[in-house]
Structure 1
Amino acid sequence: MSLPIVTAVTDAAVEAELVAALGRGDYGVTVVRRCVDVVELLTAAGAGTARAAVVSADLRRLDRDALTKLAAARVAVVGLVAADDQWHQQLLQHLGVRFVLPVDSSPDAIAGMLLTAVSSAAAGPAGVADPLSGHRVPAVPQSDPGPAGAGRIVAVWGPTGAPGRTTVAVGLADEAARLGVATLLVDADPYGGVIAQVLGMIDESPGIAAAVRLDNQGRLGMAELAGLARSLSPTLRVLTGLVRADRWPELRGESVGGVLECARKLAPLTVVDCGFCLEADEEISFDTVAPRRNGATLAALEAADVVVAVGAGDPVGVQRLVRGLSELADAVPGVEPMVLVNKVRSTVIPGNPEREIAAAMQRFAGVARIRTLPYDRAGLDRALPRGQTLAEAAPKSPLRRALAEVAESLLPVAVRAR
């Protein structure tokens, strides 16, 4: 049975010659449609008329989002690029196109690559589940960012109820930077980040949204990421988040993961302030490639080397943390978070609050070891209106000292050894 394919080649003469050659010979493929742009390509893929596509590297609006939609439609992709065009070759690789050929390849080579691409997609990573059919949707292959970065990613997460995720994320990043470690602080909260306001940054342009757009287009590198991240000190950069919650569709999970991989190369330590919600209910919609509001949070947690789970040190906060850790284990299998209980004070938990909380976490969540952070309302109240960190506004704060100890334990081993 011949494999149905579509073409989207920018050079009309090259496309006409390829289609004619494939039609004359028995190569095991049949061209069912010639597309003029990405919109027509996605329409053909969505209609289920093809199993593979031949696309030009310079096809306008061919980005990670379009490739994700093609993968969801079970359409394998083979890219064509000029033999001497290194830039477009790297672009396709960055976007996740694993199968690339010179544009002047023989019809036999192109047909063979199409068959290989389809076979690889069928036997490759399982991808995500299509809830309507029960089949697995092939995932877009992860981009090849070149040499792997050595930087460590720390994701700061916590359940609903304002346990202090942002306070902890900012504190850890600031203390790591004060230890002389180049640190990138990323606000990836899809429900509206506040790191810019907490640090008194007047320019509230969402740096992470711009970084995600560049990664989606395959144009994000260390120089671009460094340009989008604001420098607060020689060792601390901040990639600001969304200031309006209704802009969450801009934070596509796939590209958030790409931004964090680039961050590994830019800084030895990246601290990510995540959203609270881990639900993936958006996947149940009729559109299996619709944006997922919590995709950015899930992508950050999956990319992280260390997940810091933050809960509030009161009866309600501890209960939420216990339940949240169970949800975290379901969302990110195999994760072993560092558990921080924040806002610990004896006024809401009589006796020895640290011991009582530790016993509760051991009994109800099976967590053998936790770290506690004291509640320093006075120090935080001095820092917030000034747009300063605790180290700047209240250097002797007990909360600041506790955060400094945690930050030192999170540094990459190679950095701590120096």
Structure 2
Amino acid sequence: MNPTVRVATAITGDDEPALVSGLATVPGIDVVRRCADVTELLACAASGVVESVVVSAALRGLDAEALDRLRLDGVGFVVLTGRDEPEAAARLARLGVEHVLVSGGPPSVVGQALLAAHRSPGPALGHGQPRAALARPVPLTDPEPLDPGVGRVVAVWGPTGAPGRTTVAIGLAAELAGGGASTLLVDGDTYGPSVAQSLGLLDESSGLAAAARAADRGSLDLATLAGHAPWVGERLRVLTGVTRPDRWPELRAGSVRAVLELARSLATWTVVDVGFCLEQDEELAFDTAAPRRNGATLSALSVADVVLAVGSADPVGLQRLVRGLGDLAELRDEPPVVVVNRLRAGPVGTNPGRRVRDALRRYADVSHPVLVVHDQASLDAAMLNGRTLAEHGRGSPIRQALQDLVLRLAAGEPDRPREDQQLTV
């Protein structure tokens, strides 16, 4: 005898009574809750009261984040559209909804779809194996046209203390673009977004927030994403961050993830500057779905094919980096590529490269960090002119490490240095 699936409904319009009555006659279906809104529906899912839900596409608040919550709770869902709403079906397809039916159909068909959705609700964070995307060498030049979904995502993370995440992200994106690849630079920092200011761009509106809102509504497509990511150089686009840190709720985890996945079809490389904080314990303090300030960062890290962990070459910065690598290891199985920024003799003594390597090997089991020599004069000049180092600091030693990293990324081996790499200070 097949087990009974507990079902909740959240239906708008006049079809709700007939559907509920009809579902009561479908074998294997037990309607246990009739919800008035998305909040009640998500509460039922989170509490384990229901195992599958049927909901109207027109229900207020049914967006990418709500669907992601259902997936996280392992609840299957069927979405009903109006009889003359082809655009709703297209929107739901962009949101990854597998079971879409036209409202007013036979309850038996809805019941079978609910049973199928229960058996396979879909992965909540289904990103496959990110590093597997780097298994084959990736050319720096773009295919013509860019094949859908083949682009690579690089997340640039670092612990608290401003170790230079944004500097590395901007520099890396500029070098990738300079090497001939279309590149998208994304400011996903919800604490201190600064890509727009660093490049001399107006920050009156956030490109990433606008794209995330479109993803939330299911209206994000390639043309919309490109429209929110203006060109700032040859082959380099930018999605600017939130204009103020208190606007972080605009960057929902599911929406940011959808933006980055679509970015794979817009650019060969997507470089994401993310926030420092990796805490994900909001739900320990709330009885219902909690706001997640770090959701954008965690989504970027989960989507990324490779993560750069940036630390500063001084005793405090290295200690924070070592501790942060431990936190990062709890989120990703694959180790990050460690980048030590601001390498100089002052804080660590003579032969700083050897000292930093020895410390990381001893305390973090990191054998091949990327060492970025400090060059404050070039950074200041680039910041003053709102330019990248590739444009306004061509002779800077910082570019040597970034160009080496570009070659390693293109070869699909980001954690293997070149044999001839020699960095001295």
Alignment correspondent of 1:99: 99
Alignment of 1:139-178 (within 5 A): 139=124, 149-178=149-178
Deviation (angstroms), 1:351: 2.0
Q: Which moved more, 1:275-284 or 1:100-109?
A: 100-109
Distance in 1, matches of 2:91 and 2:367, equals: 46
C-alpha contact (below 8 Å) 2:173/2:271 kept by paired residues: yes
Distance in 1, matches of 2:401 and 2:365, equals: 23
In the alignment, structure 1 residue 299 sits paired with structure 2 residue 318: no
Aligned-partner residue type, residue 349 of structure 1: V
| Gap change, CA 1:26 and 1:233, over 3 Å in 2 | closer
| Gap change, CA 1:280 and 1:46, over 3 Å in 2 | closer
Distance in 1, matches of 2:60 and 2:244, equals: 29
Structure 2 SS opposite 1:19: helix
In the alignment, structure 1 residue 370 sits paired with structure 2 residue 372: no
C-alpha contact (below 8 Å) 1:192/1:242 kept by paired residues: no
Distance in 1, matches of 2:310 and 2:90, equals: 39
Alignment correspondent of 1:135: none
Aligned-partner residue type, residue 347 of structure 2: V
Structure 2 SS opposite 1:381: helix
Structure 1 SS opposite 2:341: strand
Structure 1 SS opposite 2:346: coil
Alignment correspondent of 1:385: 384
In the alignment, structure 1 residue 344 sits paired with structure 2 residue 322: no
> What is the TM-score of this pair, normalised by structure 2?
0.83
Q: Which moved more, 1:285-294 or 1:164-173?
A: 285-294
Deviation (angstroms), 1:231: 1.1
C-alpha contact (below 8 Å) 2:65/2:253 kept by paired residues: no
Distance in 1, matches of 2:208 and 2:159, equals: 22
Distance in 2, matches of 1:2 and 1:409, equals: 53
| CA root-mean-square deviation | 2.8
Alignment of 1:262-281 (within 5 A): 262-281=262-281
Of 8, 12, 18, the residue aligned with 2:10 is 8
Deviation (angstroms), 1:311: 0.9
Alignment correspondent of 2:356: 357
C-alpha contact (below 8 Å) 1:184/1:238 kept by paired residues: yes
| Gap change, CA 1:374 and 1:15, over 3 Å in 2 | same
Alignment correspondent of 2:415: none
Distance in 2, matches of 1:16 and 1:402, equals: 66
Alignment correspondent of 1:324: 324
Alignment correspondent of 2:132: none
C-alpha contact (below 8 Å) 2:22/2:108 kept by paired residues: no
Structure 2 SS opposite 1:358: helix
In the alignment, structure 1 residue 108 sits paired with structure 2 residue 85: no
Alignment correspondent of 2:406: 407
Deviation (angstroms), 1:91: 2.4
> What is the TM-score of this pair, normalised by structure 1?
0.85
Alignment of 1:70-85 (within 5 A): 70-71=70-71, 75-81=75-81
Deviation (angstroms), 1:95: 2.3
Distance in 2, matches of 1:257 and 1:32, equals: 33
Distance in 2, matches of 1:18 and 1:359, equals: 68
What whole-Å deviation, never above 9, does each CA across 1:240-289 have from its counterpart, x for those lacking one? 01231111222211211111001101000000001111121213122342
Distance in 1, matches of 2:127 and 2:180, equals: 32
Q: Which moved more, 1:66-75 or 1:269-278?
A: 66-75
Aligned-partner residue type, residue 327 of structure 1: D
C-alpha contact (below 8 Å) 2:127/2:302 kept by paired residues: no
Deviation (angstroms), 1:110: 1.6
Aligned-partner residue type, residue 160 of structure 1: T
Aligned-partner residue type, residue 19 of structure 2: L
What whole-Å deviation, never above 9, does each CA across 1:287-312 have from its counterpart, x for those lacking one? 34212121211111111111111111
Distance in 2, matches of 1:4 and 1:181, equals: 50
| Gap change, CA 1:101 and 1:369, over 3 Å in 2 | same
Distance in 2, matches of 1:204 and 1:165, equals: 23
C-alpha contact (below 8 Å) 1:96/1:141 kept by paired residues: no
Alignment correspondent of 1:206: 206
| Gap change, CA 1:142 and 1:216, over 3 Å in 2 | farther
Alignment of 1:179-218 (within 5 A): 179-218=179-218
Deviation (angstroms), 1:362: 0.9
Distance in 1, matches of 2:340 and 2:125, equals: 38
| Gap change, CA 1:45 and 1:319, over 3 Å in 2 | closer
Deviation (angstroms), 1:185: 0.1
Distance in 2, matches of 1:253 and 1:203, equals: 22
Aligned-partner residue type, residue 359 of structure 2: A
Distance in 2, matches of 1:325 and 1:282, equals: 21
Aligned-partner residue type, residue 172 of structure 1: L
Aligned-partner residue type, residue 184 of structure 1: L
C-alpha contact (below 8 Å) 1:322/1:361 kept by paired residues: yes
How many correspondences in the alignment?
392
Runs of 5+ consecutive residues of structure 1 not aligned to the other structure: 126-138, 414-418
Alignment correspondent of 1:17: 18
Aligned-partner residue type, residue 10 of structure 2: A
Distance in 2, matches of 1:157 and 1:46, equals: 31
Alignment correspondent of 1:132: none
Runs of 5+ consecutive residues of structure 2 not aligned to the other structure: 129-146, 413-425
What whole-Å deviation, never above 9, does each CA across 1:150-188 have from its counterpart, x for those lacking one? 001111111111111000000010111111211000000
Structure 1 SS opposite 2:100: strand
C-alpha contact (below 8 Å) 1:215/1:255 kept by paired residues: yes
In the alignment, structure 1 residue 315 sits paired with structure 2 residue 320: no
| Gap change, CA 1:281 and 1:31, over 3 Å in 2 | closer
Structure 1 SS opposite 2:330: helix
Aligned-partner residue type, residue 77 of structure 1: F
| Gap change, CA 1:86 and 1:406, over 3 Å in 2 | same
Identity of matched residues, %: 51
What whole-Å deviation, never above 9, does each CA across 1:200-219 have from its counterpart, x for those lacking one? 00243111111111111111
Distance in 2, matches of 1:285 and 1:30, equals: 32
Structure 2 SS opposite 1:361: helix
Distance in 2, matches of 1:283 and 1:214, equals: 26
Deviation (angstroms), 1:82: 6.1
C-alpha contact (below 8 Å) 1:176/1:411 kept by paired residues: no
Structure 2 SS opposite 1:347: helix
C-alpha contact (below 8 Å) 2:43/2:288 kept by paired residues: no
